[in-house]
């Protein structure tokens, strides 16, 4: 079976960066924790919602690194002075990554009822028509 790349399609010029983004996304290793939703809130805006019950705002960090939204969580384990008869809620850390398209900007982030909401907006693309002059040879 032959692996096709975007470069193997003659009409797809200059999409090498997109191909690298797709490969990076496939290798990001996002596991299933924490669960999340992505919803479209308007024609040009989105909201990512992560279920982060047990995390405080100071336990979470949100960064944009090389067109990639990275959300990290690290709970402080304060169980040293506590005795658990059953421990089903573990303090665990996570990292979730989302690759952002050109023009997508991260807006506000808010915590509400154990959910972290991160709002994204996409700039409306300008319609550009360019006429190329043909030189006489």
Mapping DSSP to helix (H, G, I), strand (E, B) and coil, where does residue 30 land?
Answer: coil
Those residues with Cβ within 8 angstroms of residue 62's Cβ, 6 or more apart along the chain or in another chain: 69, 70, 71, 72, 106, 109, 118
CA gap 123, 76 in Å, rounded: 38
Domains and CATH numbers, the chain: 1-29 (no CATH), 31-122 (2.60.40.790)
**For residues 73 and 94, is the Cβ–Cβ distance under 8 A?**
yes
| Helices and strands of the chain, counted as H and E runs | 1, 7
pLDDT of 28 reads 57
Angle ∠(118,45,66) on CA atoms, nearest 5: 60
pLDDT of 8 reads 67
Mapping DSSP to helix (H, G, I), strand (E, B) and coil, where does residue 74 land?
Answer: coil
Q: What is the pLDDT along the chain (137 residues), one digit of tens a residue?
A: 566 666 666 666 676 766 776 676 666 555 688 999 999 999 999 999 999 988 999 999 999 998 899 999 998 777 778 888 998 877 789 999 998 988 899 999 999 999 999 999 998 878 889 999 999 97
């Amino acid at each position: 079976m032959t692996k096709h790349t975007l470069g193997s399609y003659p009409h797809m010029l200059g999409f090498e960066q997109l191909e690298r983004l797709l490969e990076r996304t496939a290798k990001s290793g996002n596991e299933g924790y924490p669960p999340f939703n992505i919803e479209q809130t308007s024609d040009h805006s989105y909201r990512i919602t992560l279920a982060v019950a047990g995390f405080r705002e100071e336990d979470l960090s949100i960064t944009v690194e090389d067109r990639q939204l990275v959300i990290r969580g690290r709970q402080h384990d304060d169980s040293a002075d506590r005795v658990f008869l059953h421990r089903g809620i573990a303090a665990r850390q996570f990292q979730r990554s989302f690759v952002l398209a050109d023009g997508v900007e991260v807006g506000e982030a808010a915590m509400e009822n154990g959910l972290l909401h991160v709002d994204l907006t996409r700039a409306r693309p300008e319609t550009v028509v360019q006429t190329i002059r043909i030189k006489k040879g």
